[in-house]
Amino acid sequence: MANTSTFRIGLLFGLGVPVISALTFAVARLAPSAAVEPITLSALRFLGALPVVLVLWFLGRRGREVKARPRHMLAVGLLGGPIYAFLLYAGFSIGAAGLGGAVLPASLIAVTLLLTREPWPRSRIVGVTFLLAGIGGLMLGRIEGGITGIGLFILTGAVWAVCAVLAKRWQMTPVDLALSTVVVGLLICAPVALWRHPIPGLETVLLQMTVQGGLNAGLAVWLYGQALHYLGSARTALFTAAIPPFSAIAGWGVLGEPLGLAVFASAVMVSAGIVLALRK
């Protein structure tokens, strides 16, 4: 069990993930209106993340002796890179930001807790019950996208859960996690996007590269990797439960999606669930 200082450090890293993710989801919903296909958005994601990840990699290599195995980086890169990104943006091409922000973390948490063998104290059971109830409340009013959208978001969450568990099991550093997903994703998605799809306008390119790439695929993945290092897979996955209320608020502010009392009630339940589930 991590000591108090380690736990607090991991907590700080983990809290940045849902905020960045919520903004990312809302901005991703702008892509279909700009005629940006999921594969093109995936390529912009990795292209925008590359400079950020290279800087993190350069800083993180100093004094480091252990290097992740290439086959591990390839496996994690495929899952967390092109597969995750394409499923994510395919989901947002038909589903609302609030829907994805609710279904994806619920899937991620459920699959992570099934794959890990970390202990389940009573507080975690109660906390998970609260946060799943809050996520369910958000899902009730977010049906744009239907069964297909829900299915894509479930798959997206499951893919990232497997990716994160493998990264933790193989003791990959946060920099290795971010670098592998970005490099593998860029090598696969960029050629396909250039071959099959037109390049969007400059304003769209810069916006999506900055948000999907620099902030999400670069900074947020690195933050998630840091939280994995300090807290473990199960506890880190619980931070994604804060994505639904943030996504609903971001969807309202960026896209004009409806925001009502149910969102705030659900947000309270999610927040309470996270506090209980993270208790040692």
Confidence of residue 2 (pLDDT cuts 50, 70, 90): very low
100, 25 in Cβ contact below 8 A?
A: yes
Return the domain boundaries, the chain.
4-277
Tell me the two tokens of residue 238.
């619980």
* Per-residue model confidence as pLDDT tens digits over 42-69: 888 899 889 988 887 777 665 454 467 8
Decide if pLDDT at 74 tops 90: yes
CA-only gyration radius of the chain, Å: 18
Residue type, 86: F
- The set of residues, in sequence order, having a beta carbon less than 8 Å from that of 232 and lying 6+ positions away, is 2, 116, 118, 168
**HSE of 76, CA atoms in CB hemisphere, 13 A:** 29
131, 274 in Cβ contact below 8 A?
A: yes
Residue 154: CB atoms within 10 A of its CB come to 19
Q: How confident is the model at residue 1, as a pLDDT?
A: 46
Tell me the two tokens of residue 30.
């702008």
Give me the percent of the chain exceeding a pLDDT of 70.
83
- 266 versus 40: the higher-pLDDT residue is 40
Mean pLDDT, the chain, integer: 79
Range among 75-89, 107-121, 134-148 with highest mean pLDDT value: 75-89
This prediction has a pTM of: 0.78
Round to whole Å and give the CA distance between 22 and 5: 28
- DSSP tag of 255: I
Tell me the two tokens of residue 154.
């479930």
Confidence of residue 77 (pLDDT cuts 50, 70, 90): very high
Range among 3-12, 185-194, 254-263 with highest mean pLDDT value: 185-194
Decide if pLDDT at 76 tops 60: yes
Q: How confident is the model at residue 279, as a pLDDT?
A: 64
**HSE of 170, CA atoms in CB hemisphere, 13 A:** 22
Q: How confident is the model at residue 108, as a pLDDT?
A: 82
Average the pLDDT over 194-200 and give the result.
74
* Per-residue model confidence as pLDDT tens digits over 124-183: 788 878 877 877 776 665 555 567 877 888 899 999 999 989 998 898 888 888 889 999
